[in-house]
Amino acid sequence: MITRRALLANGAKVAVGTVYYGTLASFLTGCGSSDDDDSKETPIIKVLAGGLMVVNPVICVGCRRCEIACSWSHGTSAVSPSTARIKVDKNLNFGPLGVQANYVEQRGEQGDRTIVPSTCRQCDVCMTVCPEKAIYINETTGARIVDESLCVGCGYCADKCPQQVITIDKITRKSLKCDLCEGNPNCAQVCPTGAIKFYTWESAVAAVEQHEKYLTLI
Amino acid sequence: MIELVDYIRLLSRDGRLSTADQIIAVAGLELEIEDINAAYQTLIEDEQYADIVIIEAKDDFYFYSKRYIVKSYAVQWIGVNNGDLLDTIANEIRRYGALGELVAANNFTHPPYNLEKAELDELIGKFEDVEGCEDICIQTANDGSKQFFSTHFLTTTYATVLGNIDPFEYSA
Amino acid sequence: MSSKFGGWAGYILRVNLTTSKISKETTEKYHDYIGGMGIGYKVLWDNHVDGIKATDEENRLVISAGPLSGSGAICSARTTITSRNPVIRGHLITDGHFGGHFSPELKFAGYDAIIIEGKSPTPVWLKILDDKVTIEPADSLWGLGIFDTFAAISKMMGQQAQVAAIGPAGENLVAQSTFQTQGGHSAGGHGSVLGSKKFKGIGIIGTGRVEIAESTTNEQLRALDDHILGIIGANNQGVVPHDPQSWAEFNAGISRWRGGPGVTWGAADEPVMLEETPWDDHQKVGMRTSMAEMYFGREEANKIFKRPGGCHSCPIRCFCELKNPKMKTEYNLPTEYITNTCMGFLDPWYSMGKPGNGEKKTDIMTIGGYYMDNLAIWSAYGQLSHIMREFTKRSFWEVLLPAEEFAAINWEQYANLDAHFMQDYYTRIGLAKSYNGSNYFGRFLGTGLHNFINDEGELYNIQDVLDDVESPRMAGLTFALESDAEENLLGKTYSVFLDEGVHVFNRSMVGGLHHASEAAGQVGALLATVFNRDPQCHSHINLINCGLPYAKIAEVAESMWGENAFDPVKHYKAMNVAKAKFAKWCLVKNVLHDSLTVCNWMFPLLVSPDVNKNYLGDSSIESQMFSLVTGIETSEQELDDKAERVLQLHRALSVLQMKEPDQRNNHDALCEWVYDMDPDKIFGEEGTIKMDRADIQIGLDLFYAEMGWDNATGVPTRATLEKFNLGFAADKLEGLGLLPA
C-alpha cells in the first residue's frame, strides 16, 4: 500500500495502472475525492494518462501571455482574465491570499515579487459538485471538461473550485474551465520562460509540491 | 546515421562539434559508415533532421545542429580544435573589421576559445611574430578593456574612438 | 459595447471633478486618430483654453489606451497620459506613458480612455468596477506613499484591481512628479496636474473583455505571434547577444541581450542560472534581457536580481525585480524589494555623481529608486539629477541656498556615496513646501528648470524666484572648474545652455537629452526638436543600437531611407535627405506606438536575430496587429498616415498653445554646447558628436520639407493639415495669425 505521505516524500514514480488508496488526484492535490466517502476497503483506481498544468512561481515573470493564449484559443478569441482558464491577475499584485496588512512581506508584485498563478489541477471537485453532471473526464488527456449542452451556469463549480480557476461566462452563461487544449496546452506554448508546463501525472508531484509552498502566508 | 542525430544535437547544445567516428566511439555504437557524405545526404532528405549540418575541416567531416550552432561558430570551433588558434582569431577580427567593428578581447574567453585571461594576454604578444598578421592590433580603452581590430579595415585613430564609446554617456 | 470592430472598447469616460458628473462618450469619433496619444491630443485640442496653467481647473488630463491595449498583441499594454505639463515653459502639452497592466484593465472594464476635468474640493479617487464608476473620498489616502496607496485601494476594491495614483510629490504640487501604476511603471510630468485637482488615483477591475474581430481566428493570432517571436530580440531590439553564444554570428557590448552563461537570477528563491538563449527558443525569450547587468554590473546583479518583469503581453521583460536586504537592515525601509527599468535606478546614480559598480552604487540605486517611486517624483529624463550632480560638482549650492539650509544638508554623506543621503534628498523634492524646514533646495529641483533661467540659460537667484520676487536677481554663477578651460568656458557666466554636463538639449523647451545627437547625429538631434519635453523616441535606437555590425545597420538604413542615412558612430557627415526621412519615420512610428498602444522601447522591428533572414525584420507588424484585432484591413502606410495625423495635430497644438508662429527659432533651437563642445574638433571629424549650426538649419529645412511644414517657420501648412483632415486646425491657427501664408 502506497500512502500519500510516502508518495510525496519519496517522489516515488507513479506508473499508469498502479493501485492506490483514494484517487491519485487527492494524493497530489489534497482535493476531496469522491471515493474517500466510499465504504470500500480497497478502492481501486486506474491512474489516467494525461496530466495537469503547473506554474513554477520562481520563473513566472508576470507577462500573462498564458491568459492571452488561453483567451485566443477559446470562444470568440476575446481576451479577458475573467474568461481565461488560467488565473494570473487575481494573484498578480498581492499573492494568492489577497491584500494583507504586511503586504510587503507577502507574495505578488507588491510583495516579494513572486507571482503565483492558479491553474486547474484537474481534480474531482467540480465534477462532483455539478448538479447537472455536466463535467466529464476526457479519456485521452485526463482533463475535466464541461459539456456545454448540459451546463446550466449555476456557478456551483466556480464557487467550490479549490484553485478558484473556474468562471461562468457572462454572455453564454456556461462554465469555463481548463480543458488542457486537447493535450497541447496553449498557455505552455507561449510562456516566455517555460514557467508553466504540462506535467504528466508521473512528473507532477514535485511541481505541485513546489507550487503549494507559495500558497501560504509568510 | 540517424543513430547519431540525438548525440549531435546534445553536443551542439554544449557548443561542441564532432565527427561521426567520435560519436560512435563515445556512444559505444556498433556502426560503420563508409561514405559519410552520402550518408549525410540521405539523412537530411527527412525534414526532421534538416537541422543537422556537415562541415569539412582539414581532414575530416564534422557535424553540428543549426538549432544551437551557427556556421561562423562552427568554423571557429574547427579552427581552434585543429590547433589554428592565431589564424582563427585573426580571421574573426577581420570578419568584424570588414563590417566596421572592433572585437572585444573578452570574446576569446568564451567558447569555442575558452582562453584564460593570462593566455589571452600572452597571445596578444604572439601576433607580432606571425607573418601575415601585421594588420592585427590590440588597444586598451579608457576603462581598461581591450579590443582587437584589423588595420585593413579600421584606422588606429577611429579604433580608439570606437573602443571608448560609453553607451551611457548621454542617455540610457 | 462596440460590436462593429474588435480592439476598441467603445467608450470614453469623462469625469468632471467640479460637478462630480461622470459621463460616457463614444470612441468612434477618435478612430482616425487610432487611440492612446491620438485621443489625448484630440481631446486637448477640442478643449483648448488659452494661456492656462497645467494646475488650473480648466486643464484636462487624458488617460488613454488604444485599440490594441489588452488584445494580447505582443507589447501592447502601454497607457498614454496627455495634459499640459508644469515643468515646461508655457505649460505646454506633453504625453507621458506607463506600462504594467493598467490599460488592459481599463479595456476589460469597457473603456478606451478617461478624461479628468475640473477640480474637486476634497481629495477623491475614481473607482471603476466595469460599468459602475464612482468618485470616492480619498481622505484616508491623501498623504500616503505610492506603495501604500496601491495596497489601500486594492484592499478596498479587490486584490486583482489595477491601480494608478499620484504620490506625495503630486499632492504637494511638485511639478516634477509622476502618475504611476503598480510594478514600477511611471508617467512623468502630470502628477501635480492631478494633485491640483485633489485627484489621488484610479482603481479598476474589469471583468469584461477586449473583443477580437469576428473574422480573426486563433490560428491567425498565433501565426502573427510566432512571426513576431521570430523577429523580436531583447530590450531596444538588441538582436545579437551581448557575449558570444554558439548560435550567434555576432555579439556586441551595446546589446541588452545578456541572458546567457554567467548570468544568475541570484535573489530568486532557487537561484536560476541561465544557459545560452538561442534566438529561436520561444521558452527563453523572457530570459534574454537583463537591465540589471547593465546598471549594476554582473557581480552585483547576480546577487540582487530576483527575476525580470514588465508589462502585460510582453515576452521581453525589461523590468528588474530586485532584492537588496540592506534596504531593510541598513536603511530602515519597510521592504527589501524594488522594481524599475531605468530612471528609477539611474536618477539616484546620476544625482550622486555616477559612481562605479559596487555595493555603494547598488545601495544608492535601490534605496534612491524606492524613494523616487514612493514619493512619485519625475526627473524629466534625468534633468533633475544632472542638475544635482553638476551643481554639487561646481559647489553652486553654497551660493544658491541660505547658509543654514546648506548646512542642514548632509554633504558628508554625499561625498561618501552614502545611500542614506537619498532619504532627505528625495523627501525634500517630494514634499517641497510641506517639508519641515527651509527647503529651497528641494523646491528648486522639483520645479521646472525654465523658471530659474534667463534667455541665455543663466541662473536667477533661486530664492528670489521661489519667493515670487518680481525681478529676481541673478545668481552670479560662473564656470570655475579646471575642466571648463578645455571647453573655453572658464570664467564665463554659468549657463545651462553652455554646460554639456546638465544635458539640456532643446534650448527652446529646456528639454532633456534623450537619444539625441549621440544617436545617429542629426537624426537624433532633429527628433529632439518636435516634442515639448524629451522626445522619448526609441525608433532609431531600436535599429542603431541593435548590436549588428555597423555595415549591416547602414545597409538597412540605406534601404529604408536612402544613401548615407546612418553615419558611422562619432564620425558624422553632412545633413542629407535620407536623414530627414529617417527622422520623420522615427517620429511617425513613435506616435503610432503611443496611439495603438505598443511599446516604443521594442518596436519598430526593422531587424531580427534571424541569420536566415539576413537579420531583416518586418516594419509592418503594427499594421498586421491592428488589422487582425480590429478587423479593419489596414496597410502599413495607411496606419502610419493615421499616426502622422496625430503628429501633425501635436505640432499644431504646440503652435496654438505657444501662440508662436516661429517654431524654427523659438521651439526648435538647440543648446550652444551641442555645437560648441569639443572645441579642438570640427563637425564631421571623427571622435566628436558636435553638430554644426548651419548644418542643423539645413537639417530643419529638409525635415520640415518631409513633414510638410513651412520652411521659414516650421509650422504645418494648410495643405499639409488638410491632407490629414485637420482643416479645422488650419482654420483655428489662421484665425490667430499663426498659420504660414
Cβ neighbours of C286 in A, within 8 Å: 61, 63, 191-193
Residues of C in contact with A93 (CB under 8 A): 150, 154, 159-161, 182
- Say which DSSP state C122 is in: S
Which chain C residues contact residue B142 at CB under 8 A? none
Q: How far is C551 from chain B (nearest CA, A)?
A: 5
Q: Domains of chain C: which residue ranges?
A: 11-205, 504-535+537-599+635-735
Task: With beta carbons less than 8 A apart as the criterion, state whether A118 and A165 touch.
Answer: yes
Classify burial at C551, counting beta carbons within 10 Å of its beta carbon; exposed 0-12, middle 13-18, buried 19 or more. middle
Read off φ and ψ for residue C133, nearest 5 degrees.
-115, 120
User: Domain-by-domain residue ranges, chain B?
Assistant: 2-75, 84-163
- pLDDT tens for residues B91-144? 999 999 999 999 999 999 999 999 998 888 888 788 888 888 999 999 999 999
Q: Which residues 6+ apart lie within 8 Å of C483 measured at CB?
A: none
A-chain CB neighbours of C311 within 8 Å are 63
Report the distance separating Cα B92 and Cα C264, nearest Å. 29
pLDDT for the residue A49:
55
pLDDT digits 0-9 by tens, B14-54: 899 999 888 888 888 888 888 888 999 999 999 999 999 99
Record: contact B67-C248, CB cut-off 8 A? no
Instruction: Measure in Å the smallest separation between the Cα of C618 and chain B Cα atoms.
Output: 22
Q: Identify which of C161, C182, C315 has the shortest CB distance to residue A65.
A: C315
Residues in chain C closer than 8 A to B157 (CB atoms): 686-687
Q: Which fold is adopted by the domain B84-163?
A: Arc Repressor Mutant, subunit A (1.10.10)
Query: Which residues from chain C sit within 8 angstroms of residue B70, using beta carbons?
Result: 246-249, 611
- Asked if the Cβ–Cβ distance from A71 to C72 is below 8 Å, we say yes
Q: Give the pLDDT score at C325.
A: 98
Averaged pLDDT, groups of 10, chain C, 741 residues long: 80 98 97 98 97 97 98 98 97 97 98 98 98 98 98 97 98 98 98 98 98 97 98 98 97 97 96 95 96 96 98 98 98 98 97 97 98 98 97 98 98 98 98 97 97 98 98 98 96 98 97 96 98 97 98 98 97 98 98 97 98 97 98 98 98 97 98 97 97 98 98 98 98 97 85
- The 10s digit of each residue's pLDDT in A87-137 is 999 999 999 999 999 999 999 999 999 999 999 988 889 999 999 999 999
The nearest CA of chain A is from the CA of C210 a distance in Å of 5
Instruction: With beta carbons under 8 A apart, name residues in chain A contacting C150.
Output: 93, 110
Q: Does A109 touch chain C (CB under 8 A)?
A: yes
CB contact under 8 A, B162 and C545: no
Q: Where are the beta strands (DSSP E) in B108-158?
A: 136-140, 146-150
Q: What are phi and psi of C683, to 5 degrees?
A: -55, 135
Q: What pLDDT is stored for residue A14 in this prediction?
A: 38
C235, C242, C243, C246, best to mutate vs chain B, most B CBs in 10 Å: C246
Taking the Cβ of residue B55 and every Cβ of chain C, the question of whether any pair is shorter than 8 Å is answered with no
Q: How many CB pairs under 8 A join B and C?
A: 84
The length of chain B is: 172
* Positions of E strands within chain B: 52-56, 61-65, 103-104, 136-140, 146-150
Q: For C504-535+537-599+635-735, which CATH class?
A: mainly alpha
Q: What is the pLDDT of residue C3?
A: 58
Is A76 within 8 Å of chain C by CB?
Answer: yes
- Which residues have a Cβ under 8 Å from the Cβ of C152 and sit 6 or more positions away? C140, C141, C144
For the segment(s) C11-205, the CATH number from 1.10.3720.10, 2.10.10.100, 3.10.129.10, 3.60.9.10 is 3.60.9.10
Domain pair B2-75 / B84-163, same fold:
yes
- Which of C159, C284, C310 has its CB closest to that of A98? C159
Chain C (251-280) residues lying within 8 Å, Cβ to Cβ, of chain B: 251-254, 276, 278, 280
Buried b / exposed e across C292-307, counting CB within 10 Å, b at 16+? bbbbbebebbbbbbbb
In angstroms, what separates the C-alpha of B60 from chain C's closest C-alpha? 21
- Residue B142 in contact with partner chain C when CB distance is under 8 A: no
Cell numbers for C674, please give them. Answer: 551641442
Nearest CA in chain A to C162: A93
ipTM: 0.96
CATH number 1.10.3470 is the correct assignment for the domain at B2-75:
no
Partner-chain contact C210 A73, CB within 8 Å: no
Q: Do chains B and C touch (3 or more CB pairs under 8 A)?
A: yes
Grid cell, residue C144, equals: 500616503
Chain C contacts of B141, Cβ < 8 Å?
none
Instruction: Please check the confidence at residue A20 and state whether its pLDDT lies above 70.
Output: no
The predicted pLDDT at position A52 comes to 82
Using CB atoms, which residue from B69, B70, B158 is nearest to C571? Answer: B158
Q: Residue C343: closest CA among chain B residues belongs to which residue?
A: B172
Neighbours of chain B (3+ CB pairs under 8 A): C
* Chains C and A contact (Cβ–Cβ under 8 Å for 3 or more pairs): yes
Shortest Cα distance, chain B CAs vs residue C422, angstroms: 21
- The neighbours of chain C, by the rule of 3 or more Cβ pairs under 8 Å, are A, B
CB C710 within 8 A of CB C662: no
B99 in reach of chain C (CB within 8 A): yes
What percent of chain B has pLDDT above 90?
68
Inter-residue contact C284 to A192 (CB < 8 Å): yes
Looking at the complex, does the CB of residue B172 fall below 8 Å from at least one CB of chain C? yes
Beta bridge partners of A176: A167
Distance CA A141, CA A201 (A): 11
Q: Is B111 at the interface with chain C, CB within 8 A? A: yes
What separation in angstroms does the CA of B77 have from each of B82, B83, B87?
8, 10, 12
State how far residue A58 is from chain C, nearest Cα, in angstroms.
Answer: 7
Which chain B residue has the Cα nearest residue C536? Answer: B171
Neighboring chain B residues of C253 at a CB cutoff of 8 Å: 104, 167
Using a CB–CB cutoff of 8 Å, tell me whether C97 touches chain B.
no
Contact list in C for residue B150 (CB cut-off 8 A) is none
Q: Is A35 helix (H, G, I), strand (E, B) or coil?
A: coil
Q: Which three cell numbers stand for residue C538?
A: 526609441
Q: What residue ranges define each of the domains in chain A, with the CATH number in brackets?
A: 4-213 (3.30.70.20)
Q: Which of C70, C309, C335 sits opposite A104 (nearest CB)?
A: C335
Distance of CA B70 to the CA centre of its chain: 9
Distance from CA of C639 to the nearest CA of A (A): 23
Indicate yes or no: CB of C209 within 8 angstroms of CB of A78.
yes
Q: How far is B2 from chain C (nearest CA, A)?
A: 23
Evaluate whether chains B and A are touching (3 or more beta carbon pairs less than 8 Å apart).
Answer: no
Contact B28/C at CB under 8 A? no
- In terms of C-beta distances under 8 Å and separation of at least 24 residues, what long-range contacts does A169-176 make, across chains too? A169/A75, A169/A83, A170/A82, A170/C207, A170/C208, A172/A75, A172/A148, A174/A146, A174/A148, A175/A126, A175/A134, A175/A135, A175/A146, A175/A151, A176/A74, A176/A83, A176/A85, A176/A146
> Which chains have at least 3 CB atom pairs separated by less than 8 Å from chain A?
C
| Inter-chain touch C551–B169, beta carbons under 8 Å | no
* Nearest by Cα to C141 from C154, C160, C158: C154
Residues in chain C: 741
Residue contact C550–B165, C-beta within 8 A: no
B70 with C611: Cβ contact below 8 A: yes
- Do B101 and C549 count as a contact with CB atoms less than 8 A apart? yes
